[in-house]
Amino acid sequence: MTDFDGEFSPAFEIAEPAVWRAPIIFNSPHSGSVYPNAFLNASRIDIEALRRSEDSFMDELIDGLGERGFPVVRVHFPRSYVDVNREPYELDPRMFSGRLPSFANTRSMRVAGGLGTIPRVVGDGQEIYRERIHIDDALGRIEALYKPYHRALRRLINKAHQNFGTVIVVDCHSMPSVGISRDEPRRPDIVIGDRYGTSCASLIPDTIEEALAARGYTIGRNKPYAGGFITEHYGNPASGLHTVQVELNRAIYMDERLRQRSARFAQVAADFTLLADALATIPLGDLGPFQAAAE
């Protein structure tokens, strides 16, 4: 299960335009759908169950933005194999044979829920593995897939920040149309997550909400998704580093049961283009770095 070069070619892609229209990066970390055979053989559930964790087709919805001057990042390996929207070592001791490294975070809420860097369950709570996997396998995935992705993303962010003085990362995800709990209210079409105002300037989610509401979408903020590791880790508004998570309700662009694009798919992709255009109109001077303005 460690022949990563043979399984993923490449593990992720960055489509960078020759000329950047604005310092706005669109990132799809959970749409990967290349499943290693050894992983499938080790799983107690079939590939259709594993795919419930995917943000299916999210990478396709943003694919055309590269032609409009916006960098696009897409991951090919599935989040059920290794999840790049976690800390590098959020590991559940119950999953592994062998000794975990002393620096592993074994007590996070995400680990408790089975959704660590190497997930124990898929999105609907089904256990993935038949038996424990060796810790060396998990660490190999992190070294070969997780770390190169984050190094490349950081280089892209730093390039934008150096060239423009600020950067916006739009972390693109999708969510099931209904939650696991029956008590959860109906989910809106879009949920914007900014870690409750800490990962980006308020102008960014306000612009996203205005642009998408004008297209008829219902909008929520931070519930049930406020943003994961990527949003939290790369967001530092005081330094001009802004990250925002955008969750699309899958029912607006796909048939969740059949996992097929719906008739609205092309329209949703076109609306993402309008969203990118709206974000590109934000004056860069309004995005910081704010510590300079306060001096």
Domain ranges across the chain:
4-294
Grouping H, G, I as helix, E, B as strand and the rest as coil, residue 28 is: strand
Tokens 């975990």 correspond to what residue? 100
| Parallel/antiparallel/unpaired status of strands 24-28 and 254-255 | unpaired
pTM: 0.94
| pLDDT score of 181 | 64
What are φ and ψ of residue 268, in 5° steps? -65, -40
**Using one digit for the tens of pLDDT, what is the confidence trace for 243-266?**
999 999 999 999 999 999 999 999
Structure tokens at 227: 């943003």
Decide if 104 contacts 168 (C-beta within 8 A): no
Tokens 């004056």 correspond to what residue? 283
Assign a CATH topology to domain 4-294.
Aminopeptidase (3.40.630)
| pLDDT score of 2 | 42
Residue 9 has pLDDT above 90, yes or no: no
Measured N-to-C along each axis, helices 203-213 and 265-280 cross at an angle, to the nearest 10 degrees, of 140
| pLDDT score of 124 | 82
Tokens 């990042």 correspond to what residue? 73
Strand partners, 12: 75
